[in-house]
Amino acid sequence: MVETPDRPIDNIHATINDTSTDAKASGGLIRLFGKGVSPGALLAWAGVLTLLVITAYGLLRSREEPFSIGQTVPTFVLTTFDGEQIDSGELSGKVLVINFWSSWCKPCEEEAPDLEEAWRYYQSRGDVLFIGIGYVDTRSEALAYINRFDITYPNGPDQRQQISNSFRTRGVPETYIIDKNGVLANAKIGPFRNLAEIKSMIEPLLWP
């Protein structure tokens, strides 16, 4: 699983603004890191700062109490990339498979084909719904990821990380299996190993 911050860029910008208030806009970053620094070096510094923020954020989130099996899951509204609104509060009677992912997440790529295969296996039943939630991603990269793995179940961006915060996610991928009464039945932190593992978490929740 890849741990990521929900608002890393704001923190980095704030740090740069605080340390370069006396610098002109056109040359502040160069004076901050030294004269004659190449754009490539500045990008490298930005990458290091981002990594530090990611690490610090992951440590902070790891101290939070995780969302527990047996708890009623908070409802959410997701606007998909196709513009459809999904209100989880209106999905009573369905088993929900909520998958948090990102296009830059390599472990997400490992499980993507199995998740799609599982969705196609259960889709015709009508009482199982897969929902993908893009986490800290850009629209273009997320759509490219969806097309790459031919994902057909609903997917949408997590605006301002509101949904991931309510689930207390710590990174991606994370998948939450919610029973027909809206209660968290299973959770998978990290990628699924195979299709059988996905089915093993869904099958006990299906009514005859």
Residue 154: strand, helix, or coil: coil
* Numbered ranges of CATH 3.40.30.10 in the chain: 77-205
The tokens of 41 are what? 């070096």
Determine the length of the chain: 208
φ and ψ at residue 126, rounded to 5 degrees: 90, -10
Neighbours of 198 (CB within 10 A): 26
Q: Cα separations (Å) of 123 from 56, 118, 157, 180?
A: 40, 8, 22, 15
Q: What is the pLDDT of residues 150-163, one digit of tens each?
A: 999 999 999 889 99
Please, what is the end-to-end C-alpha distance for the chain in angstroms?
Answer: 34
Q: Which CATH architecture has domain 77-205?
A: 3-Layer(aba) Sandwich (3.40)
The pTM (predicted TM-score) of the whole model is: 0.71
pLDDT of residue 21: 45
pLDDT tier at 206, thresholds 50, 70, 90: very high
* Residue predicted with more confidence, 180 or 28: 180
Q: What is the pLDDT of residues 76-114, one digit of tens each?
A: 999 999 999 999 999 999 999 999 999 999 999 999 999
97-98-100 Cα angle (round to 5): 140
Q: What is the pLDDT of residues 23-74, one digit of tens each?
A: 444 444 444 445 566 777 777 777 677 666 655 555 454 445 667 899 999 9
